[in-house]
Amino acid sequence: MKIGEFARQLGVSTDTLRYYEKHGLLTPSSRSEVGYRFYSDADYKQMSFILRAKNVGFSLSEIKELLQIKFHKNQHSCHEVKAMTLQKRDLVAARIAELTRFYDSLSLLADKCCGGEEPAENCSILTTLEDIDGLTQ
Amino acid sequence: MKIGEFARQLGVSTDTLRYYEKHGLLTPSSRSEVGYRFYSDADYKQMSFILRAKNVGFSLSEIKELLQIKFHKNQHSCHEVKAMTLQKRDLVAARIAELTRFYDSLSLLADKCCGGEEPAENCSILTTLEDIDGLTQ
DNA sequence: ATAAACCTTGGAGTACACCCTAAGGTCAAG
DNA sequence: CTTGACCTTAGGGTGTACTCCAAGGTTTAT
Ligand SMILES: [Zn+2]
Ligand SMILES: [Zn+2]
Ligand SMILES: [Zn+2]
Ligand SMILES: [Zn+2]
């Protein structure tokens, strides 16, 4: 399958596929005589793996690591894979915590503001940000 | 106050202050004869505003908007300010929802894996990512 | 024969929020 | 008068995951 059809079937752009190839995530299994990329069923499976891993939150470099493990399964342990997964989960959790603080602060701010059409002279959002904060910690 | 002392008091780098100046967030109120930046009390207050806004999750360009409103309070309404705040909050909420999906998927994956020291031949994290997913919708 | 649709490469651009460097000028202390 | 700490500018680099472009070669249909 040439790159265009392959991209269409997977719902990604051809640029993305060339990008992934350049970054060692998916090298098409063959090329035509004039250099056209040809993708096989195995390539389809690998790309699906990549997309699923992306869907659960792994970054491309993490996915590359996972692929290395997948290619040399006997040289890596379950422990290693689970550790990566848990570490990623913890990172995600930390980011969620930070964003939740943002969310709470923004809610507090919004609640204080009347939201009317009058000039923002005494807008409590602005004054709260100006004054000593009743926001942080 | 010169830039170094000002930066120290606010817990930011001098590079950050020059960056903010270049991007229209905070222009020091004066310069010495040879061009040294001098920051005033008003500058301190504005920088505090910026840092507080950052702390609740606003991006620098959003903060720039907020500053524009703050400078011309009578030309803007409470409604406008509240709308910005709510819109930002919704964006944050959407991002939290996405990360929560990641978190849940990663937890599911991790739970299935034994985490032992044996080779990853049959690691359920890898097989789950390989096979038709029990993850996504 | 020619146009449309495909493919190739290399390289530049995007957003965000800085950080770092070089090359040089300024200022206070000893 | 020199040392060290400070300041200036312009410009490049970081990471992430692409996206877009130019300039050209190939394939397929009419
Ligand atoms: Zn109001
Ligand atoms: Zn208001
Ligand atoms: Zn296991
Ligand atoms: Zn496992």
* Verdict on whether the full-model pTM lies above 0.75: yes
Helix (H) or strand (E) holding B91: helix B78-112
Domain chopping of chain B, boundaries: 1-71, 85-137
Q: Which nucleotides of D are covered by protein (CB under 7 A)?
A: 6-9, 16-21, 25-27
Cβ <8 Å between A78 and B115:
yes
Rg (C-alpha) for chain A, rounded Å, is 24
Cα separation of A104 and A125, whole Å? Answer: 14
Domain spanning B1-71: which CATH class is it, in words?
mainly alpha
For chain A (length 137 residues), average pLDDT per consecutive 10?
A: 97 97 97 97 97 96 97 96 97 97 97 95 95 59
Task: Note the pLDDT of residue A133.
Answer: 54
Nearest CA distance, B50 vs chain A (angstrom): 8
In the predicted structure, residue B77 carries a pLDDT above the cut 80: yes
In the predicted structure, residue B105 carries a pLDDT above the cut 90: yes
User: Pairing mode, if any, of strands A37-38 and B30-31?
Assistant: unpaired
Task: Note the pLDDT of residue B137.
Answer: 40
Kindly report which amino acid residue has its CA closest to the C1' atom of nucleotide D25. Answer: A34
Residue A15 exposed, middle or buried by CB count within 10 Å (0-12, 13-18, 19+):
exposed
Q: What is the pLDDT of residues B22-73, one digit of tens each?
A: 999 999 999 999 999 999 999 999 999 999 999 999 999 999 999 999 999 9
Q: Which of the residues B74, B82, B101 would you substitute to probe the A interface, choosing the one with the greatest number of A C-beta atoms within 10 Å?
A: B82
For residue A45, list chain B residues with Cβ-Cβ distance below 8 A.
130
Nearest partner of B107 among A96, A10, A135, A46, judged by Cα? A96
